[in-house]
Amino acid sequence: MTLERWRDITYWPLLAASLLFIVAYSWQVIADLQGTPYLIARVVMGVTWLVFVVDYLVRLSIAKPRGEWFRHHIFDLLVVSVPALRPLRLLRALTLLHVLQRTAGTALRSRIAIYGIGAAAVLIWIAALAVLESERGAPGANIENFGDAVWWAFVTITTVGYGDFYPVTGWGRFVAVLLMIGGVAVVGVVTATLASWVLERAAQGHEDQEPATRAQFRIIAEKIDELRGAPPGSTLADDEGPVPDGPTPRTS
């Protein structure tokens, strides 16, 4: 059993567990559950937690250089072991969607935009739930219902910060800090994607001034090979040997 095989097998179960978790968590917090419904929601969340624990342990056991895998997955360990971090488990679902693979140019930018909007929406929803759970009933708190919590999350992630609502508990403030960091990252991704588009567009229209391409280089090389009387294909292949012009090493 390899990590890739395990990932393929657990793709849909983990996605389902994530969705089940968020539904149960939303229900518990928004409806302010008490008694039996509260117990039901907690049991559902406990079961989805077990799914993530099992997934973590299996991956740890089949990873080949186990120490290295462990060091690269400290975040996963924190999320499954610290109860307070349980809402972050949903972010794991996002890492299951490998939407950024094998695209470039405008297609890549569209996917980054979609992915960024999705991540921001999940972050706002989770942060609103977590803050509301922490603040509701706390002395001096002003975030008392889910509508206000979502509004507060939007005001925070965009770094507007009116100050009409703000967390006063320690855990509520910790959630707020994660949301602010997410806001800085979202603004950064938006700007970076726009910058990529502007730069590409600004270089167009003066085709003479664009950098010579690798395809053009190959034409030159073939022409020279013809001059030398060598068959273009084979010689070119030999000569090209030392040139790493496939996926460049620095971007791997």
Binding residues for a copy of itself restricted to 148-167, rule: CB under 8 A:
151, 154-156, 158-164, 166
Name which of residues 219 to 248 contact a copy of itself (CB under 8 A). 219-228, 239-240, 242-248
> Which is closer to a copy of itself, CB of 32 or CB of 210?
210
Q: How far is the CB of 186 from a copy of itself (least distance, A)?
A: 7
Residue 82 or 184: which CB sits closer to a copy of itself? 184
Task: Count other Cβ atoms within 10 Å, centred on residue 58.
Answer: 15
3-class secondary structure, 244: coil
Structure tokens at 164: 């009409």
- Min dist. Cβ of residue 16 to a copy of itself (A): 27
Instruction: State in angstroms the smallest separation of the CB of 141 from a copy of itself.
Output: 12
Q: Are 126 and 88 a contacting pair, CB within 8 Å?
A: yes
Per CB under 8 A, the segment of 24-32, 42-50, 70-78, 187-195 that binds a copy of itself is: 187-195
Least separation in angstroms between CB 132 and a copy of itself: 16
DSSP codes joined into one string, 17-78: HHHHHHHHHHHHHHTT--HHHHHHHHHHHHHHHHHHHHHHHHHHHH-SSHHHHHHHTHHHHH
Question: Rule CB under 8 A: is residue 121 a binding residue for a copy of itself?
Answer: no
If we measure between CA atoms, which residue out of 184, 179, 185 comes closest to residue 87? Answer: 179
**Residue 78, by phi and psi: left (phi above 0), alpha (psi -120 to 50) or beta?**
alpha
Phi-psi region of 231 (alpha: psi -120 to 50; beta: other; left: phi over 0): beta
Determine, following the binding rule CB under 8 A, whether residue 66 of this chain makes contact with a copy of itself: no
Closer to a copy of itself by CB, 54 or 192: give it. 192
Q: Which stretch binds a copy of itself (CB under 8 A): 1-9, 39-47, 128-136, 186-194?
A: 186-194
Q: According to the binding rule CB under 8 A, does residue 21 interact with a copy of itself?
A: no
Residue 187 touches a copy of itself, criterion: CB under 8 A: yes
DSSP class of residue 212 equals P
Measured from the CB atom, the residue of 32 and 164 that comes closer to a copy of itself is 164
Binding mask 81-120 for a copy of itself (x = CB under 8 A): -------------------x-xxxxxxxx--x--------
Question: The tokens of 136 are what?
Answer: 């509701």
Q: What minimum distance in Å lies between the beta carbon of 143 and a copy of itself? A: 12
134 and 175 Cβ atoms separated by less than 8 Å:
yes
> Is-contact 73 12, C-beta < 8 A?
no
